[in-house]
Amino acid sequence: MKNYLVLIVMLSLIIGCGPSKPSSTTESGAQKDFIAQGMEYLKNKDIANAIHSFDSAIQQNPTEVENYLVLGEVYMRLQNYGGAVDTLNAAVRVNPNSGDAYYMLGLANALKASQEGDSDLGKASLAQAIEASKRSIDIYMQNRDEENFKKAVTFLQTLTPKQE
């Protein structure tokens, strides 16, 4: 937990690479409207209405993992890491084979751990970040997604202390 500054800088860069818009192939028209509306609210810094729109998209189609990823990313950008963890835990329940959901869950837990410090809660969040990161690596490897696999491995390396 010594390298918080490095971790936070890396996570900030990595979060920027996360999903910004959900796939439109499985969305209904209403769901697309909620996502587009939420993005517009975000652009205008109307966070409460943005979250409400993304929640509405989830209610409209609770089996679409991308909706959870968008909301989880919003919570992380707001530094509401508990909300992000809850949302992304729901994402992995919806699709336990989503490498992106596990990857983002790992990010959220790592950010939560850095916020909680060396406390027991911080150590527990770090352990959860490591487990989610390992799961994302497994999924990316199974799917032969080399780019995301490398990104997840690099992230895991920032979480685990170097053995000397």
The 3-state secondary structure of 114-132 reads HHHCCCHHHHHHHHHHHHH
The CA distance from 32 to 39, in Å, is 11
What confidence tens digit (pLDDT) does each residue in 45-85 have?
Answer: 898 899 999 999 999 999 999 999 999 999 998 999 999 99
Could you tell me which residues come within 8 angstroms of residue 155 by beta carbon, excluding any fewer than 6 positions away? 10, 14, 103, 106, 107, 110, 133
The CA distance from 9 to 59, in Å, is 33
Low-confidence ranges of the chain (pLDDT < 50): 1-27, 163-164
Q: Which helix (H) or strand (E) holds 16?
A: helix 4-16
pTM of the predicted model, to two decimals? 0.79
